[in-house]
């Protein structure tokens, strides 16, 4: 079992920036591919970004390409999501997720471990 805790959510302005962080509570962090998903009211859970175990490969959802950046620090057992050029449609609960599978999958069903989520609200 891998336990994940998100932080950094809150209120942002359109055009501004926020940075989310996810801390893993197990020392085997480098064994996991990490990802971020989000879910807005009235919408299905949406893939945001994923990063490989070594950090050498990334994958982004079309709606955030060029605006968001995922990164990881295996020594600190953390994964971050830097969100720039925020839009009101970025408003959602953001979830950190982990899987032992290789690659940078954007499929929700491939992820086994999930954080509790953190709310991001972007005002216009």
Categorize the per-residue pLDDT at 10 as very low, low, confident or very high, splitting at 50, 70 and 90.
very high
> Which residue reads 């959602």 in tokens?
92
29 φ/ψ sector (left φ>0, alpha ψ -120 to 50, else beta): alpha
pLDDT of residue 20: 98
36 C-beta neighbours (distance < 10 Å), count:
27
CA-CA-CA-CA dihedral for 83, 124, 39, 119, to nearest 10: 70
The predicted-structure confidence for 33-43, as pLDDT tens digits, reads as follows 999 999 999 99
């Amino acid at each position: 079992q891998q336990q994940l805790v998100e932080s950094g959510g809150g209120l942002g302005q359109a055009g501004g920036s926020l940075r989310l962080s996810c801390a893993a509570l197990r020392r085997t962090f480098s064994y996991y591919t990490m990802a971020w998903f989000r879910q807005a009211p009235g919408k299905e859970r949406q893939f945001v970004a994923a990063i490989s175990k070594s950090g050498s490969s990334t994958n982004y959802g079309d709606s955030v390409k060029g605006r968001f950046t995922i990164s990881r620090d295996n020594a600190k057992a953390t994964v971050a999501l830097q969100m720039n050029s925020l839009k009101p449609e970025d408003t959602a609960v953001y979830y950190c997720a982990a899987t032992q599978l290789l690659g940078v999958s954007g499929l929700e069903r491939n992820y086994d471990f999930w954080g509790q989520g953190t709310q991001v609200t972007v005002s216009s």
